Amino acid sequence: MSSTPLHHARLIFIGGGNMARSLIGGLLQRGHQATAIHVVEPNAPLREALQNDFGVTCHADNSSIYDDADCVLLAVKPQVMRTVCEGLRDKIGKAMLLSVAAGITTKQISEWSGTATVIRCMPNTPALIGAGASGLFADASVSDEQRALASHLLEAVGIARWIDDEARMDIVTALSGSGPAYVFYLVEAMSTAASQLGLDADTARDLAIQTCLGAARMLSESDEPADALRRRVTSPGGTTQAAIESLQANHFTQIIADAISSATERGKTLSATAGG
């Protein structure tokens, strides 16, 4: 791996769904070689779409997996991870495994696959438009070169941050992995409320979306924390203060805390139900 340039690293995706598609698209935009990417996907329409759209090589099953890959990316659901990993035994040589499945630990993947080198990551759906947020964990068996390759893969579709304790990966899943749904729900609620008060539904939706987009950009482009920006736009006695006081009275902060806690616990349950 150390002698292979990152954009020539040989990659195998197990699963050709939305997350694989977003990663492949991002990698190709950053100069990764299409000839170095293979995808194992049993669904024929998905295989054909990936081949036509990206020029990557697709396979119906993993019987043709070659043993000189640098990385095998496990882009499948947690519920089928054990079966997929057990099917990889003795087929991937010295390749590292990179899993995007929520809740499934590196120890479980290693035991099921017989592969010592495993990296766990949690991207999110905005990766589909190059605006993803991913957390990654690797234990001491993963080399610096392999960590660099994992960063290369995830940074192709957004930002990537390394987590030093795997137990915290369930928090990452709850925060950024599930987080886009919270924002979608917020926009849905804001739009509905404005419509019920008499605003045209399409206008309400457009204004809610652009408001969230603009606020997020202000946060990303400012050195100030969220609470400072909030206070700046909350004039004493004004409309924003009335809204914030209503949110506080209805325990908005605790509602969000409970949601993230529930998602975190669900991640732990996925690991437990998958077995050791």
**Whole-angstrom distance, CA of residue 260 vs CA of residue 263:** 5
Q: Indicate whether 15 and 121 sit together in one domain.
A: yes
- Tens of pLDDT along 237-271? 999 999 999 999 999 999 999 999 999 999 888 88
**In terms of domains, do 12 and 145 share one?**
yes
Question: Would 15 be classed as within a structural domain?
Answer: yes
- CATH value at residue 79: 3.40.50.720
| CA nearest neighbour of 136 among 107, 164, 94 | 164
By the 10 Å C-beta count (0-12 exposed, 13-18 middle, 19+ buried), 148 is classed as middle
Question: Any idea what the CATH number is for the domain that residue 258 is in?
Answer: 1.10.3730.10
User: Which residues span the domain enclosing 231?
Assistant: 179-269
Query: Is the full-model pTM beyond 0.85?
Result: yes
- DSSP states along 30-80: TT--GGGEEEE-S-HHHHHHHHHHH--EEESSGGG--TT-SEEEE-S-GGG
pLDDT tens for 1-19 read: 444 678 889 999 999 998 8
Are 162 and 244 found together in one domain? no
pLDDT at 113: 92
On whether both 145 and 213 belong to a single domain, the answer is no
**pLDDT at position 170:** 93
Across 60-64, 140-144, 190-194, 266-270, least confident range: 60-64
At which of 122, 150, 169 does a domain end? 169
In a domain, 1, yes or no: no
Verify that 38 and 60 share a domain, yes or no.
yes
Q: Are 34 and 96 within one domain?
A: yes
DSSP state of 95: P
Last residue of a domain, one of 169, 195, 220: 169
276: in domain? no
> Do 198 and 74 sit in the same domain of this protein?
no
Q: Tell whether 74 and 160 lie within a shared domain.
A: yes
Q: What is the pLDDT of residues 9-55, one digit of tens each?
A: 999 999 999 889 999 999 998 899 999 999 999 999 999 999 999 99
274 in a structural domain: no
245 and 160, same domain (yes or no): no
Q: Quick one: which H or E segment has residue 11?
A: strand 11-14
pLDDT at 178 > cutoff 90: yes
The total domain count for the chain is 2
Would you tell me the crossing angle of helices 144-155 and 18-29 to the nearest 10 degrees? Answer: 100
Between 61 and 97, the more confident residue is 97
What's the whole-number mean pLDDT along residues 43-71? 89
pLDDT at 28: 92
Query: Is residue 275 in a domain?
Result: no
- Claim to verify: residue 162 and residue 183 sit in the same structural domain: no
Q: Tell me: do 83 and 197 sit in the same domain.
A: no
